[in-house]
Amino acid sequence: MAAQAEFFAGIPKISYLPNAGARDVMCFKHYNAEEVLMGRRMEDWLRFSVCYWHSFCGTGADPFGFPTLHRPWNEGTPMESAKKRLHAAFEFFTKLGVKYYTFHDRDMAPEGSTLEESNRNLDEITDVALQLQSQTGIKVLWVTCNLFAHQRYMNGAATNPDCHVLAFAGAQVKKGLEIAKKLGAENFVFWGGREGFLSIHNTDVAAELKHMANFFKMAVKYKEKIGLKCQFLIEPKPKEPCRHQYDYDAMSVIGFLKHYGLESHFKLNIEPNHTTLAGHSYEHDIVMASTFGMLGSVDSNTGSSDLGWDTDQFPMDIRDTTLVMKTVIEQGGLQPGGLNFDAKVRRESTDLEDLFIAHIGAMDTFARGLRNAVRIIEDGLITGMVKERYSSFSHGIGQKVEDGSATLEEMEVDNFKICPGTTDEK
Ligand code: XUL
Ligand code: CO
C-alpha cells in the first residue's frame, strides 16, 4: 500500500506519564495498559474501543446548525473519502493505543443507489480495512447495520408495517454479518433505531414485536450458517428517535428475549446515556444486565444530569466508572465485549487534537474507576457489609426461602416466633 500522509502530524504515540503536569494533556496520567491488577492487564480489563460514526464521520451538525468539524479526510468522492477516513482512523487508533474499533455498515462505505452497489462499496472499503487491521493488529469490537437513517426506515426496520422494508433490512443485515466474518468482528450489535412507535393508535404492537423476534431468529440462523463466531448484542434505548422504543431498558430487552426464546443467543450492549434517558441512575442497567448474566458490552459515554437528551459525552466522572468497573470485575470481565466510546467531541471542539484529549480523558477516568473498584473489592469492607445484611438467609427459615423449599404455612409459624403477643397466639 502506498505510504499515506499523516492526518495527525506532530502528535506522537500517547504514553503513560503519571507525573506529567496539569498542562500536559497529550499523555495518560492513570491509564497504564501493561499494569497488572487482580491478575489481568489494565488493557484487558478495559478493552477500549473507538467508534467510527462520531469520531470519524461526525460533522458537528445539530438540529440548529451546520457542520463545524471540517476533517481533512472528508475530501474527494464519497469512496475516496471513505478510504482516507480509514487511514486517518487507523493512525488515530495506533497513536492512542486502542486495540478495537466499532462501525455501522454505512459509516464504513457510502450507500449506493441499489443494494448491490452498497454491497460492492462495502466489499471495496473493507478490503482496505482488512489490510490495515493486519498491518496494525487492531481489531473490530463490533459491527452494526444502520437501519434507521435512510428514508425507507422512517417507520422502522424489523417492525416496519411494510414487509418489503423489513426484507431490505434483512438483506442489509445478511451483508453486515458477512462483513463481520470477513473482518473477524468479536460482536455484532442491534440497536433498535426506529423500532418503536410515535402513536399507539396506528400501531399493532403484538405484530411488530413478533416480527422483530422473527427477524432476530433469521439473523441467528444465518450467523450459524456462515459459521460466524461473534457474540450478538442488543442495545437498549427508551426514546429518541421514537417516542417509545421497544428496547426501552435492560429489563425490557431481557423480558423480550426470554418471551421469544432468544435469551441464549444475545447479550446486552449497555449505553449509560440511554439508561439515564430511561429515568434510571447511570449504573442501573449495567448492574441489572450483569445480575442476569446478560452484560455483554458497554457503550461508554454519559449525558448531563440536567438534560433529557442523548448527548453522547465522553465519561469523565470517576464515581460512575468505579461502579461500572466494580460490576465488570465481579462478573469476571467484559470479553468478548469492551468499553466502546460511543461519544463525540462537542461541535465547538474543532481542533483535531481535541479527539485525542477527549479519548485520553475518558480512558484515564476508566483507569481511575478500575483502580478504585479493585481497592473496594480487595479490602472487602462493602462485600462484608452486604453479606452481613442478608445473613438471616443462611440458616433456619431464611435458608429454606433461599433454596425455594419454604411454604406460607412456615412463614406463619415463623411470625409466631418473632412477634409473640401480636398474633392469634395470645
Ligand atoms: C444511538 C446509539 C448508536 C448505537 C449503534 O443512540 O447509541 O450509535 O450504538 O447504532
Ligand atoms: Co450506542
* Ligand 1 atom closest to Cα of residue 269: 9
CB distance 105 to ligand 1 below 6 Å = no
Asked, for residue 409, whether it belongs to a domain, the answer is no
- The pLDDT score that the predictor gives to residue 421 is 60
236 upstream amide cis, omega within 30 of 0: no
Closest residue to atom 5 of ligand 1, CA basis: 191
- Per the domain annotation, does 26 fall within a domain? no
Residue 111 located in a structural domain: yes
Question: Looking at ligand 1, which residue's alpha carbon is closest to its atom 3?
Answer: 191
For residue 18, the 8-state DSSP code is T
In the chain, the number of structural domains is 1
The catalytic residue positions are 104
Integer Cα distance of 85 and 126 in angstroms? 12
Q: Which atom of ligand 1 is nearest to the CA of 274?
A: 6
Domain boundaries, position 146:
36-389
pLDDT at 135: 98
State the pLDDT at residue 416.
Answer: 82
- What integer pLDDT is reported at residue 418 of this predicted model? 72
In the numeric block, the cell 447511570 is attached to: 282
Which CA distances in Å does 257 have to 55, 209, 264, 267, 304? 32, 11, 9, 9, 30
Q: Is 188 helix (H, G, I), strand (E, B) or coil?
A: strand
Q: How far separated are the first and last CA of the chain, in Å rounded?
A: 91
319 occurs within a structural domain: yes
C-alpha cell at 264: 441464549
Buried b (16+ CB within 10 A) or exposed e, 252-286: ebbebbeeeebbebbbbbbbbbbbbbbebebbbbb
Q: Residues 261-306: pLDDT tens digits?
A: 999 999 999 999 999 999 999 999 999 999 999 999 999 999 998 9
Whether 246 and 256 have beta carbons less than 8 Å apart is answered as: yes
Q: What are phi and psi of 141, to 5 degrees?
A: -70, -50
Residue 110: asked if its preceding bond is cis (omega within 30°), the reply is: no
Nearest-atom index, ligand 1, CA of 299: 9
**pLDDT at residue number 415:** 84
Compute, in angstroms, the gap from residue 269 CA to the centroid of ligand 1. Answer: 10
The alpha carbon of 168 and the centre of ligand 2 are apart by a number of angstroms equal to: 23
Q: Separation of 106 CA from ligand 1 center, angstroms?
A: 13
Q: What's phi and psi for 76, nearest 5 deg?
A: 90, -165
Could you tell me the three cell numbers for 109? 462505505
Q: What is the DSSP letter of 187?
A: E
Q: Is the CB of 321 under 6 A from ligand 1?
A: no
Whether 173 is in a domain gets the answer yes
**Element (H or E) spanning 86, and its range?**
helix 78-96
> What is the pairing mode between strands 231-235 and 196-197?
unpaired
Question: Which among 83, 87, 88 is positioned nearest to 69, based on CA atoms?
Answer: 88
The enclosing domain of 331 has a CATH number of 3.20.20.150
- Domain-embedded: residue 12: no
Instruction: Tell me which amino acid residue 137 is.
Output: G
Tell me, using a 6 A CB cutoff, whether residue 144 lines ligand 1: yes
Alpha-carbon gap, residue 110 to 188, rounded angstroms:
20
**Which residues share a beta bridge with 187?**
142, 231
CA-to-CA dists, residue 96 to 25, 49, 122, 351, 352, angstroms: 13, 11, 26, 16, 13
The answer as to whether 8 is a domain residue is: no
Within a domain: 407: no
Query: Which atom in ligand 1 lies closest to the alpha carbon of residue 148?
Result: 10
Residue with cell 437501519: 147
Query: Ligand 1 centre from 86 Cα, in Å?
Result: 20
pLDDT score at 426 = 38
Q: How many whole angstroms separate alpha carbon 157 and alpha carbon 73?
A: 31
- What DSSP string describes 101-144? EEEEHHHHS---SSHHHHHHHHHHHHHHHHHHHHHH--EEEEEE
Pocket test for ligand 1, best of 104, 143, 239, 271 (most atoms within 8 A of CB): 271
Q: Which atom of ligand 1 is nearest to the CA of 189?
A: 5
pLDDT of residue 353: 97
Q: Summarize pLDDT for 230-255 with one digit per residue, the tens.
A: 999 999 999 999 999 999 999 999 99
Does ligand 1 have an atom closer than 6 angstroms to the CB of 235? Answer: yes
- Yes or no: say if 233 and 142 are a contact pair by the CB < 8 Å rule: yes
**Is 107's C-beta closer than 6 angstroms to any atom of ligand 1?**
no
Bridge partner residues of 143 (DSSP): 103, 188
From the CA of 237, the nearest ligand is 1
> CB of 344 closer than 6 A to ligand 1?
no
pLDDT given for residue 75 in this prediction: 93
User: What's the confidence (pLDDT) of residue 5?
Assistant: 83
Specify whether the CB–CB gap between 27 and 14 falls below 8 A: yes
Q: 290 in ligand 1 pocket by Cβ < 6 Å?
A: no
Q: In this predicted structure, what is the pLDDT of residue 3?
A: 62
Q: What is the pLDDT of residue 1?
A: 45
Whether residue 312 has its Cβ less than 6 Å from ligand 1: no
Q: CA 389, 395, 401, 407 torsion: positive or negative?
A: negative
Q: Which residue, by CA, sits nearest to atom 10 of ligand 1?
A: 191
Q: Output the CA 235–ligand 2 centroid distance in Å.
A: 7
What is the pLDDT tens value at each position of the chain, 426 positions in all? 446 789 999 999 999 999 999 999 999 999 999 999 999 999 999 999 999 999 999 999 999 999 999 999 999 999 999 999 999 999 999 999 999 999 999 999 999 999 999 999 999 999 999 999 999 999 999 999 999 999 999 999 999 999 999 999 999 999 999 999 999 999 999 999 999 999 999 999 999 999 999 999 999 999 999 999 999 999 999 999 999 999 999 999 999 999 999 999 999 999 999 999 999 999 999 999 999 999 999 999 999 989 889 999 999 999 999 999 999 999 999 999 999 999 999 999 999 999 999 999 999 999 999 999 999 999 999 999 999 999 999 999 999 999 999 999 999 999 888 766 654 443
Question: Which residues lie closer than 8 Å to 226 by C-beta, 6 or more apart?
Answer: 177, 178, 181
Query: How many A from CA of 41 to the centre of ligand 2?
Result: 26
